Amino acid sequence: MEQAQPSTPMMGDAFPEMEVVTTHGTLRLPDAYQGKWLVLFSHPGDFTPVCTTEFVAFQQQYHRFRELNAELLGHSVDQVFSHMKWGDWIRDELNTTIEFPIIADEQGRVAEQLGLIHPAKGTNSVRGVFLIDPNGVFRAILYYPQELGRNIEEILRMLRGFQTADSNGVAMPADWPNNGLIGDAAIVPPPADVATAQERLQMYDGYDWWFCYRKV
């Protein structure tokens, strides 16, 4: 019998309601983070080198996430006791206290709902990142291979970009805020009619009526 493929959320979907066991107790998602951005990230397993470097890196930048009204939430299919012992090891050996909760998904229920178990990788959860907005909607979904650790600065950049775009009704260019063409400016949405297109370059800087930008 063919094995069922894990479901995978899509950008724009609502985060499914669920109750999870974590190192900080039981949480109901997404309600526990209502009004905040949430960065939920999974890792293949506790006591593994790449994952350890990631958790230390996330913790070191935790204050910057909080400045962006964002919280961190880890996840793997390990038991809560393993998470706690691993946290003790990171504290004792690497002088870093992990302050954010980690989901203990021993039965793999959360991983299955979020599409975090790769069929070819057995039961370990993949290295995934979900950016969820204050309304509980998936805004970005990233997957990394087991051999490549995540770039924390990029995740922070994405949060800043989403928040800037949402507040100003604009889009962010490549490498924002250091784009090679327009620097830290943001792209103005294209006009919806001919009259607006003809006026566009009088209103904004740009290369053409369909490619205008402004400071935000």
Catalytic: which of 51, 114, 159, 182?
A: 51
CA 182/CA 22 separation, integer angstroms: 44
| Positions of CATH 3.40.30.10 in the chain | 18-151
Query: In the sheet that 138-144 helps form, which strands lie side by side, from edge to edge?
Result: 25-29, 18-22, 102-104, 70-76, 37-42, 127-132, 138-144
CATH superfamily, domain 169-214, is Antioxidant, Horf6; Chain A, domain2 (3.30.1020.10)
CA 61/CA 66 separation, integer angstroms: 9
Question: Catalytic residue at 51?
Answer: yes
Please report, for residues 82, 154, 175, the alpha-carbon distance to residue 142 in angstroms, rounded to integers and kept in the order given.
25, 11, 17
Domain 18-151 is found in CATH 3.40.30.10: yes
CA 120/CA 204 separation, integer angstroms: 50
pTM equals: 0.92
Strand intervals (E) in 167-210: 186-187, 205-208
In one-letter notation, the amino acid at residue 162 is F
Tokens representing 110?
């959360």
| Positions of CATH 3.30.1020.10 in the chain | 169-214
216 residues of the chain, pLDDT tens digit each: 344 455 689 999 999 999 999 999 999 999 999 999 999 999 999 999 999 999 999 999 999 999 999 999 999 999 999 999 999 999 999 999 999 999 999 998 999 899 887 666 556 678 999 999 999 999 999 999 888 999 999 999 999 999 999 999 999 999 999 999 999 999 999 999 999 999 999 999 999 999 999 999
Q: Do the strands 37-42 and 127-132 form a parallel or antiparallel pair, or are they unpaired?
A: antiparallel
CA 121/CA 175 separation, integer angstroms: 32
